[in-house]
Amino acid sequence: MSGSGIIDKFELYIVSLWLLFFLIIFVTADIPVCFGDNCQFIGVMALLLKNIVPIISILLLIFGAIFYFRFNYKISGSSNLSVKISDIEDLSYEHLTFLTTYIIPLICFNLSSVRYVIVLGILLFVIGVIYVKTDKFYANPTLAILGYRLYKVTVITRKGQKSGIIVITRDRLSISDQIQMRHLDEKVSFARRG
Whole-model pTM? 0.80
CA 179 to CA 84: how far, in whole Å? 6
Strands 149-157 and 82-90: antiparallel
| Residue 90 to residues 29, 105, 161, 178, Cα–Cα distance (Å) | 38, 26, 19, 17
H-assigned helices in 76-137: 93-98, 104-107, 114-133
**Domain range enclosing 20:** 3-193
List the one residue out of 166, 190, 182 whose CA is nearest residue 80: 182
Give 26-63 pLDDT, tens digit per residue.
Answer: 988 888 877 777 888 778 888 888 889 999 999 999 99
Q: According to the model, what pLDDT value does residue 155 have?
A: 92
Q: How many domains does the chain have?
A: 1
C-alpha 112, offset from chain centre: 25
> Is the model's pLDDT at 10 over the cut of 90?
no
- Separation CA 70–CA 66 (nearest Å): 6
Residue 2 pLDDT class (50, 70, 90 cuts):
low
